[in-house]
Every structure is written in structure tokens, then in C-alpha cells.
Amino acid sequence: MSTAPVIAAVDGSDDSLRALDWAVDAARRRGTSLRVVHVRQYAAWGQPDVLVAGEPDGPGDPVLDEVRDRLRTGTGEPAAEYVALEGAPTALLPQLGADAQLLVLGSRGRGGFASLLLGSNGLAAARDAACPVVVVPRPGRGGGTSHAFRAVGEHEELPAAPGPRVVVGVDVDSPDDATLAFAFMEAAGRDALLQVIAAYPWPVQSWAAAGGIVPPAVDQDEVEHETRTLAEGFLAPHLKNHPDVRTQILAPPGDAAGLLVSASSDADLVVVGRHRRRPLAPARMMGSVTQAVLLHAAAPVAVVPPTPAEE
């Protein structure tokens, strides 16, 4: 098991303290240390984005002092170190992932606008960090209640057994082993059901030469069967590595983002992959499904980067 720490990014906001609690639990599950980082932001017209590490246990940072007091009251907490950095959070937070197992932060910090569902720090970290990034939402976010992200077509709520549950999305056209490996590890550590959602678009539409829509020539049952069969094949090596993890494979029709958001209600975690870097793209990217899940899921969301070779 990796000895790299779990990093919690804090700024004193309620959102970041919820993320801190999540990170403490994650470090305990992994048997590793916790690193609490406060990025003290320069003004836009101030100094350049230079990383300056503060004394790990030195005084002088009220945010870190509050976190120390908070963690002292707990029992069985992981070993923790405290680091103050100075610079732009959107630049520095992604850099923290270079030597971390996991980077955890809240959906919005002190500087976020109340109307935003996800702050710029969360988006930047999820898009650019080298390690998986977990964004912890505010309580009461709607999940499946958002009409804008209902799956295409009429469908029942996705079935789920009671108890702890980790949800992972699988794109059978472009599966990502890193995402599946992370999801299985989380489900194993929580003794949770792993709910695998492999959505397929339906109805399939074809355009005639005159501009009309031609009914699909394929059978929906066949598409669902093929989607499920492909998903089972991608899961096989991970099931071999984690034989005790219970899995539920669902191949529903509709929009993947809407289905994952709907499934996030009462889930412990939703796991999604980050896009592989395209050859001509100037930077890393997040797909539209990943971004929609980050914005609307009711549960914490883990965004898993592909392996460096894949990127």
C-alpha cells in the first residue's frame, strides 16, 4: 500500500471542514497519514504564483490552528502534518497531487459565489491533479431531483440494495482501468456494494438524406445485452483482484450524466474518470459527463486521472 498521504485542502469554510472530515476517514481507511494544506491566496494584482511552504507545525495560520484543535478532539485520528502555502489556489492545489494518494476538497471555499455549484478550485484540481481528487458537496444537494439531468426517456429509479454503496460509471466505448481499480478499492475498503452503470444512448437516431429521422434498425434488447457483456468483460480482472466486492451491473438506456447523478442519492461515493489527453490538446480536459456529475451529484465525487501512459 502506498505511503503517500491523503491531502485535505482547507480554508476555514464549512465546505472545507466537511472535506477535512472525509479526508480523515479516507486516511484512516488507507492506513496512511493526513496532510492538511491551507493555500493563502495572493490578491490578483499581488505576487506571482510561487509556492512557499510554511513551517509544518509552526504557529501563525488561524485556519490551520482551527484544524489542529478540531482533530485533537477526535480519537484514533491518523498522523497529521500542517502546511501553509502562498499563491493562487487554482495553480497550487493541482500541484499537491504529485505526491498524494488522494486530494480532498469542498465544493466551494470562502471565496466562492453562492450561486455556483462548484468553485474554480475544485474544477482546476479535478482537471489537472496527478492523483484522484474527491470533491465533497454541501448537504442536501438534489442528486436525482434535478430535471435538467434526467436520463433520456422514461425510466424507473435505478435499483440499489440498502447499505453502503459506491457508484462508478463505465463507458464501454472507452473503458478506463484506473477508474475501475479506484472504485473497487473504495468499495472493498467500505465493505460496500459497487454499482456499475454502463449507460447506452437510446433511441438511436439515423438521419435520412432528406433530413428526416429513420427509426433505429437495431433491437434495444440486443444493445443492452451487448453493453452489459462488454461491461462484465472490463470488470473481470478487477473482480479477480477483489473477489469479496459485491457488484451490481446496470446497463440502462439514457444519458450517462443524468443516470450517475440520479444514482448519487444516498450513495457513499460516485467515481468517474477524467478524459485522456488528446494529442493536439494544450492541456488536460474533463469530459461533459464528469463535469455534470461534479456539478450536480448529491454524494462526494472522485475524479480519477488516467495512467500517465494513457494521458
More confident call, 24 vs 281: 24
Cβ–Cβ under 8 Å, residues 118 and 48: no
Q: Does residue 110 register a pLDDT over 80?
A: no
DSSP designation for 253: B
Q: How many CB atoms lie within 10 A of CB 220?
A: 13
Which ranges of the chain does DSSP label H, i.e. alpha helix? 14-30, 62-72, 89-96, 120-128, 177-190, 220-241, 256-263, 288-296
DSSP single-letter state for residue 147: G
Query: Cis omega (within 30 of 0) on the bond before 56?
Result: no
What pLDDT shows up at residue 119?
64
Give the pLDDT mean for 190-198. Answer: 96
**Residues 42-54: what's their mean pLDDT?**
44
Does the pLDDT of residue 55 top 50, yes or no?
A: no
CB 10, CB 20: distance < 8 Å: yes
pLDDT in tens, 202-230: 776 555 555 555 665 678 889 999 999 99
For residue 194, pLDDT beyond 90:
yes
pLDDT at res. 300: 96
Which domains, from first to last, does the chain contain? Answer: 6-136 (3.40.50.620), 143-304 (3.40.50.12370)
State the pLDDT at residue 115.
39
Residues whose CB falls within 8 Å of the CB of residue 40, separated by 6 or more in sequence, listed in order? 61, 84, 85, 86
Euclidean distance between CA atoms 216 and 208, whole angstroms: 12
What residues does 98 pair with on adjacent strands? none
- Look at residues 245, 302, 308 and name the one whose alpha carbon lies nearest to residue 6: 302
Mean pLDDT of the chain: 80
The DSSP bridge pattern shows strands 301-304 and 133-136 to be antiparallel
The pTM for the full model equals: 0.83
pLDDT of 149 above 50: no
